[in-house]
Amino acid sequence: MALDLEPGLVDAVRSKRAVIFLGAGASLGAKKGTETIPDAKRLAKLLCDEFLSPDYEDSDFSTIYDFSCSARSTREVQDFLHGILFGFEPADHHALIPKLVWAGLATTNYDLLIEKAYKRDHDAKQTLIANTRDGDGANDKIGPDTVLYVKLHGCITRYQEIDPPMVASTEQIINHKTGRSGQFAQFMEWARTKTIIFAGYALADYNLRTLIDEIRKEGDAHPRHYIVRPGILPTEADYWAERRIKTISAKFSEFLEAVDREITEHSRALALAPVAVMQTTFTRFISRADATETDRLKTYLATRCEHVSANATIEDADPKKFYRGAELGWLPLIRNLDVKRRVSQDVLQEQILSTSVTNGPRLVLLKGHAGSGKTIVSKRIAWDAATKHDRLVLRI
């Protein structure tokens, strides 16, 4: 029997408002020759056999990972995981992911299945940009036809790096954030503004429960999120419903096939060209499907402030004029004519991408002598926040 999906969930994927978050179970079906990819339990046993003793076999993956690093070294453990996970090829259902349009992708997995699925599909709807750690340059590659793939626990392509290391639990990121604070901030921003579909996580998965707890700390002012997993029982469904999480009892492959059936090719093309159907550049920030800008809001956006957006009309000009002191709007930022300043990244990380709870408005004062570049720095912060990090930015 075909899986029946909620109209709201289908509409979220159709309109590029859904983020798919992959757990270990989402990788099942991948093969390396006749070998199948190990799940978290089997991976923990392999680690235990290599680095510990059978006495630890009943421990969870995070504990076995930590103890293995202590018994030998983090680098040796990462090298071992690389040897196990490298070379696996995507299953057939993984090939459906690049055929759909996503607001983002995220995972706690180390493998390369999603990267391979996008690389194989020459007609993929978006170009995948893998973000494996803070400062890896992924955010600089983001554009209108790309999709960011945040690998919260690292990637086997960086198995030789230990600063930051690959991690075993999301709690490590939340408590320490070393090298991954920007990644976690991106996930939290998606949780506030997008529909997240968790796939491949069991009820007992500590990473899933930790992520949900962090979302709950932000309150209930977020879109409905979903968990996809086969064999969900009524009590578990009720447990998640109390946390504003809807459950879908189905295999990940069945879910993808159902979404693929529901969304037409025309709708997918339309999701990649939102300007054609927008009232203003502000439209895509409206989370209610039946709401549009009021006339008063349109007037305010047109006369009292400027919505900073890559979709705004930008007039071309000679870059030389910028260096002579001419005001060329956002063109210097698009062309990267400005000198990058550390203060721009500091403000972004500390004030805009920060995951700390705020109880009210905050004011950042940028000080400097006349001609030191305060205006350009502030515009760089605004432009990067709006275009690279998908924030709602208004310039007064």
Residues 117 and 246 occupy one common structural domain? yes
pLDDT for 326: 75
Rounded to an integer, the average pLDDT of 272-297 is 68
In the predicted model, is pLDDT for residue 274 greater than 70? no
pLDDT for 116: 97
Residues 20 and 42 occupy one common structural domain? no
Domain that holds residue 74: 38-87
pLDDT for 77: 92
CATH number at residue 193: 3.40.50
Residues 231 and 138 occupy one common structural domain? yes
Of 87, 113, 128, the domain-final residue: 87
Residues 52 and 139 occupy one common structural domain? no
Which of 108-122, 178-192, 228-242, 345-359 shows the lowest per-residue confidence on average (mean pLDDT)?
345-359
In the predicted model, is pLDDT for residue 356 greater than 90? no
Residue 297 lies in a domain: no
The structure tokens listed for 368 are: 């400097």
For residues 286 and 17, the model is more confident at 17
Q: What is the pLDDT of residues 155-165, one digit of tens each?
A: 999 988 888 88
Residue 32 lies in a domain: no
Rounded to an integer, the average pLDDT of 264-280 is 68
Residues 106 and 255 occupy one common structural domain? yes
Residue 2 lies in a domain: no
Residues 199 and 222 occupy one common structural domain? yes
Rounded to an integer, the average pLDDT of 307-325 is 79
Residue 294 lies in a domain: no
The total number of structural domains that make up the chain:
3
pLDDT for 357: 65
The structure tokens listed for 334 are: 């698009």
Residue 220 lies in a domain: yes
Residue 292 lies in a domain: no
Residues 168 and 310 occupy one common structural domain? no
pLDDT for 316: 75
Residues 224 and 141 occupy one common structural domain? yes
Rounded to an integer, the average pLDDT of 131-158 is 89
For residues 296 and 342, the model is more confident at 342
Which of 63-72, 142-151, 213-222, 353-362 shows the lowest per-residue confidence on average (mean pLDDT)?
353-362
Rounded to an integer, the average pLDDT of 19-41 is 93
Rounded to an integer, the average pLDDT of 91-117 is 96
Residue 278 lies in a domain: no
Residues 222 and 311 occupy one common structural domain? no
- Predicted confidence band of residue 276 (pLDDT cuts 50, 70, 90): very low
| Residue 133 and residue 146 in contact, taking contact as beta carbons nearer than 8 Å | no
Of 251, 271, 291, the domain-final residue: 271
pLDDT for 275: 41
Rounded to an integer, the average pLDDT of 166-183 is 80
- Predicted confidence band of residue 40 (pLDDT cuts 50, 70, 90): confident
Long-range contact pairs involving 392-396 (C-beta distance under 8 Å, separation at least 24): 392/282, 392/285, 392/307, 393/307, 393/308, 394/305, 394/306, 394/307, 394/308, 395/305, 395/306, 395/307, 395/308, 396/304, 396/305
Q: What is the pLDDT of residues 202-236, one digit of tens each?
A: 877 888 988 998 888 877 777 889 999 999 999 99
- Predicted confidence band of residue 21 (pLDDT cuts 50, 70, 90): very high
Residue 277 lies in a domain: no
pLDDT for 277: 46
In the predicted model, is pLDDT for residue 278 greater than 80? no
Residues 211 and 243 occupy one common structural domain? yes
In the predicted model, is pLDDT for residue 152 greater than 50? yes
pLDDT for 225: 94
Residues 242 and 385 occupy one common structural domain? no
pLDDT for 93: 95
pLDDT for 61: 87
- Predicted confidence band of residue 290 (pLDDT cuts 50, 70, 90): low
Residues 96 and 73 occupy one common structural domain? no
Measure the CA–CA gap between 297 and 70, rounded to whole angstroms.
58
